[in-house]
Structure 1
Amino acid sequence: MMNRNGMVSKIQTRIRTDPFKNNYDIAGKELGRGKFAVVRKCVEKTTGNEHAAKFLRKQRKGEDCRMDIINEIAILEMAKSNPYVVALHEVYETTSEIILVLEYAAGGEIFNQCVADNDEAFTENDVIRLVRQILLGVAFLHRSNVVHLDLKPQNLLLTSVRPLGDIRIVDFGLSRRVDNVREVREILGTPEYVAPEILNYEPIRIATDMWSIGVLAYVMLTGESPFLGDSKQETFLNISQVNVDYSQDVFEGVSDLAVDFIKSLLIKNPRKRATAEDCLKHPWLCPHPTILEALSETEARQSQSEPESPDSAEELVLQASYTICTSQSDLQAFRKTFIFEESLPEIQQELVC
């Protein structure tokens, strides 16, 4: 069942009302904290399995937001068979909170490697594998007419860092379900990653996510945010005008096929953007063996020319974050121009912020 804002109001998961602490021990430091939520690592007493517990406040700014949380649960249920969407284990409810017990992704946000230097940064082969996983998860959502609406490095986790693990898509607090009957128009998302149609208050569609994936691929390959300006006004203007730098200086060492992939997504008209299914057939993600060999040789040459970090032998241990975090810019809304509903909960993660 879906309301006029594209939010799903029915769930299958049984909401437990017995005390959460009877069944779980809180382990270690918080994974994240925001205005309306806290994410903590927890251990299930009966099994010893690690999970991430997302404590969500039902009352926010004086309003009852329980249905927003129900919508998030419903989307997680819908995607439970997809390996690249974070798994929902259990749900608890108290008088003031709803607690989502989620899969724990120990590798943390991909943001950390997007902005890393030298040997800690993603190689192009890494990005090919991870973007393919993101697309497999998003294509699954889109087949159910679900739009994530907040795809960005902070909402994409890794199961491990070394060796590089697999993707888990998280934070469905802004997700909506769209169909051909009703139009959903809302100003939602994170400024650097929102599509032009969001800024123009046009109907949300599954193509809206594809713009964000184009931005993601750009950031993962270059470590730079394509539309980030000195102010939110400038960022929004860059998005509206599709001001993108595809110069060799930015994409040094990156294949032409990767740039072509990004160009197929950063298109102002959403009807002309590649779909998730189209992207999965793109030659950059389905390369010929000789292309893979060329990429590997290029990456090998680059690694040989770079001095080895004295800390390269040390294992990088990162905490996992399960929702929005400010990154290269202040992600609060530029409310004088556009009214952005902030991702909920607005988690701040100490490793990045």
Structure 2
Amino acid sequence: MSGELERDYTVGDEIGRGRYGVVSRCHSTLTGECFAVKSIDKRLIQDDAVDSLCLQNEAKLMQLVSGHPNVIGFFDVYEDDDFLHVVLEYCAGGDLFQRITARPALAESEARRFLLPLMEAIAHCHNHGIAHRDIKPDNILFNSYNELKLADFGSAECFGGGGLMSGIVGTPYYVAPEVLAGRDYNETVDVWSAGVILYIMLAGIPPFYGESAHEIFEVVLRANLRFPRKVFSSVSAEAKDLLRRMLSKDVSRRFSADQVLRHPWMTNGGDSIDVGLLA
């Protein structure tokens, strides 16, 4: 453990674990305030050039986008020979995966209340030239005030100036087809992933399903979007229109994050967010 980190924070129990490290609860030695610290073991990725670059980028990119109310707060970074420690906002309210799997499907008003702050966060990142590239319910957290927070920028990339990105990153159900196809792609891969989340919230099932990662990749590559009548009979035409625009295989026709926020389904129901409904 970094001596400087231990000087400033008291590190407590583990609250999460990933491929390259752990997330622990910690408290400021000065104020007693609770935070989370993501400790990444650099020795585990020293032979992987791509992951090593992502590690170097993560803290830098988080500093650029932190400060938005729907992006997880970034506070400190410490580095020693073996570890990188990133001190983040502590989110005690769990993640979106837990909330949307607790019930078969959500009402459109509830789905909108999750999608709106998520798209605000994505638009904020895109307007700063940063693509998240791993939008999924597990990376969407809630703090103790039930505010939605986009987290885990380990796969994020800078595309400033309208540049394209490359590299296969993401999670099977949520990754865009152009990523799997090995083509260069733009930031709307995040819109695709958010569209998958919206579909799951409204239908209770993913739009592109397979029994294995390979099968999922095959159906994602085909991107044959369907709205089964049994599942979507009570879903509005406006919601299905938005899904078609977010889950367009033709990238030139896919909506940007800002366009999603301006879509009638978002704006017509865009009353103030009732925090109680997020609980």
Q: Same fold, TM exceeding 0.5?
A: yes
Identify the range of structure 1 (210-219 vs 220-229) with the bigger mean alpha-carbon deviation. Answer: 220-229
Q: Show the counterpart of 1:256.
A: 237
Unaligned runs of 5+ in 2: 272-278
Residue 181 (structure 1) shift: 7.5
Residue 66 (structure 1) shift: 5.4
Q: Show the counterpart of 1:156.
A: 140
Deviations 1:215-261 (A, max 9, x none): 01111222212112112232112111113331232235433322221
Give SS of 2:63's match: helix
Where relative contact order (Cα < 8 A, 6+ residues apart) is larger, the structure is 1
**8 Å Cα contact 2:109/2:269 also seen in 1:** no
Residue 26 (structure 1) shift: 2.9
Give SS of 1:278's match: helix
**8 Å Cα contact 1:178/1:204 also seen in 2:** no
Is the aligned partner of 1:125 residue 2:109?
yes
Q: Show the counterpart of 2:120.
A: 136
Q: Show the counterpart of 1:230.
A: 211
Deviations 1:190-222 (A, max 9, x none): 111111111111112011111111101111222
Q: Show the counterpart of 1:202.
A: 183
**8 Å Cα contact 1:130/1:166 also seen in 2:** no
Higher helix proportion (structure 1 or 2): 2
Aligned sequence identity (%)? 32
Residue 48 (structure 1) shift: 1.5
Mapped to 1, the partners of 2:19 and 2:178 lie a distance apart of 28
Q: Which has the larger radius of gyration?
A: 1
Q: Which runs of 4+ in 1 moved over 6 A?
A: none
Q: Show the counterpart of 1:304.
A: none
**8 Å Cα contact 2:45/2:52 also seen in 1:** no
Mapped to 2, the partners of 1:62 and 1:139 lie a distance apart of 33
Using the size of structure 1 for normalisation, the TM-score is: 0.71
Using the size of structure 2 for normalisation, the TM-score is: 0.88
Mapped to 2, the partners of 1:145 and 1:181 lie a distance apart of 8
**Residues 288-327 of structure 1: pairs in structure 2 closer than 5 A:** none
Change (3 A) 1:34 1:288: closer
Residues matched between the structures, number: 270
Is the aligned partner of 1:25 residue 2:6?
no
Residue 73 (structure 1) shift: 0.9
**8 Å Cα contact 1:56/1:97 also seen in 2:** yes
Mapped to 1, the partners of 2:162 and 2:229 lie a distance apart of 44
Mapped to 1, the partners of 2:23 and 2:90 lie a distance apart of 11
Q: Show the counterpart of 2:276.
A: none
Give SS of 2:153's match: coil
Deviations 1:155-174 (A, max 9, x none): 101124xx7x2210111111
